[in-house]
Chains A and B, each alone.
Chain A
Amino acid sequence: MGLYYDSWLILFSPLFAFVVIVFGTRMWDLFSRPVKATAAQIEEAHEESDIHYMEKEGPHGEEETLEEDEDPQVPYLTMGAKVSGYVAIVIMALACLYSWMLLLNTTGVLSIAPPLPTAGVTIFSYNWFVQSGGLVSYIVAFHIDTLAIAMMTVVTSVSLLVYFYSQGYMQNSAGYARFYAYLTLFTFSMLDIVFAQNFLVIFIGWELVGLSSYLLIGFWINKAARPAEDRPSPATASIEAFIANRVGDVGFIIGIMILFANTGTFDFATLAGSGAHGVAHAFAGNLGLLTLAMILVFCGAIGKSAQFPLYVWLPSAMEGPTPVSALIHAATMVAAGVYMVARTYPLYLAAGPQALLFVAWIGAFTAIFAATVALTQYDLKRILAFSTISQLGYMFVGLGVGGSLYGPGPGMFHLFTHAFFKALLFLCAGSVLHAMHHALHRETQDMRYMGGLARFMPITAVTFLVATLAISGFPLFSGFYSKDSIIGLTFDRGDYGLYIVTLVTAGMTAFYMLRAYILTFAGKGGSFGGLWGGPYRGAAGVAGQPWGRLEGDQGVAHEQEPHESPPTMTIPLILLAIASIVAGYWFGFYGYIWPGAPALNLGDILTDWKTWVGVVVAFIGLGWAYYLYAVVGWAKVGQVVYNNPTLNFLHRVTLHRFYISELYALIIRYGVLGLSHVEAAFDTYVVDGIVNGVAAAVRGAGRDLRHVETGRVQSYMVGFFGGVALLAVLVFVLVTFVK
């Protein structure tokens, strides 16, 4: 059992790494940097600033931004900075190893410790404070069970690969050590959620995740917004992410408070139990309130997992460094909402079907909505962002339809497989961005400047293709098992509406992912019928098309060829590509995290007609994308869409993401700010009015009453004796008539 009881080491190892980096190696890095720049460097800096000055003043210069200032670079990384990275990687590797040992032990592959009890093991418990004479206690407790072990394996594995990858991606970044400090804090926050035994701890982790994502999304604080690409500045994006999460957290905390006020406990196991503190007992005859509470708790997941009304922060979060996007999308941030719902699944079951139906429909709507948006985007990372939103929608559908038999199994299984291929997609995108930055000397995420990159970066292209097939549900890849079982389950449950929506979304997913692959790495004229290589567009964009370049694009002075990324970046890609295939073959996953759930069976899957419906839909999506972008060619397709008013209109609407962000901006400008104007008026005229009115009344009274002071002794005397006479009369009356 020691293996289980020592697993707090996994939880606290990233925090330890954080402390070591912040107080140790980062200080080392800062103090060991060259204090004085050499004469050559100063001259170089001067030259650069002169160029920028000229550009800013030039006739075309208003869109120009200071690229070098956006991501401050150092000539070389100091030993302290490098050691920061090594510390994070080594510690995370150990944590990853430990969680794999736990996973293998609990699945029965290894037997180095006795089997884990079904209820799990509480590894740490501390009575924070006690209220009402011991009636209510606030306990900080960590707990592991199979669900937590599955999740911590994903978190530590993806974190490790992202840390490793960041060595290449963040090469020579001035904030290298700081970046690793934030990354470790991020992983710690997520592990805190994974290890949480009660709502109190999960909420702490929840907020820590919000904080660390804020820090990481806004990592390049000096970067400006790019209106031509419809991209906010990282500073804005980080605030947006923080605020969108706050909105969801309001619901989350109200939900927790409803549960706590009625049961008197935060503890998941106690809440799910049948005792006096369990929801079954506390909400007996009042299930509507429990349903409301669980929907409010789900609001937290809507914010954190970027579901429909609050998803807007996730595309903006693309402004962070790409490894951060991978971490956010695969393991640490958006997974928190799904994991939280899975963790509180018994409570959802207790709340009755409405709560889970709500979860499923929010997920389904988000899935199809985000997939629609992803169809037309030019921005590679934005496609991936919307694909994450869409896939998270699938996870919530899976959670919603799981029921008491499957539990959170389908949703968590998709989370599990998705973590690998989505991390892979983002790391590939990072590799592409790295290459494009080298080629065009500017940050380029727009696919109009890419195309045919498979020739230059074959490893990235192959791994991206693997992830594309996995996310599309191509047979025998991991997404095929996890996603199709969710779609099949909606049909089995009789929710035909959900079935149609998820099925259509699957087709759209296949379409936009293959579109992204072809537009980035291949194109018409490449080998294998346009699936490999092909013309590289470069700074010219889609030649001869009015929509083929960014608005205000000034071109690039000395273009170079893109190149494959260094091994620090490609090794994680290869590992994740393998994981993207094999992760789906853990058929016992449902039963592992939810005792009693049936295992997947390859024979059943392959003989089920619904599987083949799903495959056909996926192939329709893939084939349509292949036809449009590899056979017909993007230029021609784009021309047709551009010249057809209806298609052009639809294209513009989806390209602008249904103008939801603009709608929110309007709501905030006229709703929230309007309300604040009303409140400001209330403050000015009512609150200030009362204060100033009191002062004015006192002043006026003083001005008028001072005339009573005549200064004549005799008038005072009249007043004095008049008062005495009055008092005498009063006393007389009282004494005479009131006994």
Chain B
Amino acid sequence: MVPKIQFEDKAHIFLFLSGLSVIFITIGIIETLLGESVEFFQEVAASRGWFDFDIEFKGLMSQYGMASGVFLLCYASMILVRKNPNLRTKIPQTMVLLPPKAVFALYLVAFILFIYFDNILLGISMFCLIFTWKFIADVSFDDDFVQQKFGLQKTLFALGIASFSLAITTNYSGALGEFFFQSQWTPTGSCPDRRSLCENMSFGINSLLFTTIQVAFGALLIAVPIGVGCAIFLSEYAQPRLVAVVKPTLEILAGIPSVVYGFFAFIYIGPIVVEFGEYAFTQGWIDEPPNILNPINGAIVVGIMILPLIASMSEDALRAVPNELREGSLALGATKIETTVFVMIQAALSGIIASIILALSRAVGETMAVTLAVGTVAVFTTNMFLPAQTMTAYIAQKVSGDLSYGDIGYLTIFAVGLYLFFITLSLNLLGNKILTNFREEY
């Protein structure tokens, strides 16, 4: 009798092929996006050249110049403190020693500035300033600390050079310069033939990117406190019976389709935001009357959307912390809230941060709710009560009109999609890396 092993020998080949299909899909995604984007850049470059800029040192007085100054100051002071052990003792301790709450408040201020500044690098530089201050303060107490945080120094240098070069160069043009540095997005300019490229068109993605960042970080502002608070409450305080009610509710909230959230934002959140905007307009805080479609509306609705994601992932992270830590802290005489804040959150921090980063990636990629809530006007403005357009909303708007393959409008959606893909991919990689590498092993 012949044993039936023929399929068993081949089973793993079939299974391997199905595993391999994932690689093909990924290659397919990258390759289609890259192929069409390269065609887009080639077409733009054919009429404008690849990359072009003028050097003007007046730009040092601009915001970029200020940012580069801050970066290089941070870098220089870090180098000084690191290289000169004598200097450390000379630093007056009252000057550098900030109470932790003040540092936290400063972080908050920097974060808000980061969202509302026109200039992203200036916002980041504020962060780095506080970082460096804290670094110097730490260094003056602890000598071992000097060896750490070498990555920050390199990053500071790179950012300083980047903002310096941005400051002294002006008038970026050509395909790459226009796409990555300019902020006027008019892919359908007033041209004789609107399908083909002409001089009136402008492809500066920064206006789309800026609104995307506004919406995503605004959503985090709403979702992180509520989501993390909800997770802590569910894992530390709530009765099991309450958890049995709240957890499925959060799962239902996570399951509701995004277009329904968009509908909700359109008919309900928009009018409420407009009321606030009108109050702000009568007070003179904003210079134009608000519109029912605006980034705040989008930020609120995306915040509600990503709330269950943050809550459930953070709760998982908190539940994974072994009970011994909690009991040890309670046995030392800490109250429950002290245990939660100083032990549990510290132990689960990597999981919580990873959940926030993955939620950020979800918020950046969210389409339908944002399309219905934020609007379809691509402008670069800090007034968050006016309609704007995110990257995903641009793609959605472009494809719902008439789209003919091969014209410039068709190619732009792939360029925007590629940029979006890389942003979310790097956020996902970061989140998963934090989740796996920085997990505390107990």
A, B assembled together: no
**Partner-A contacts on B (CB < 8 A):** none
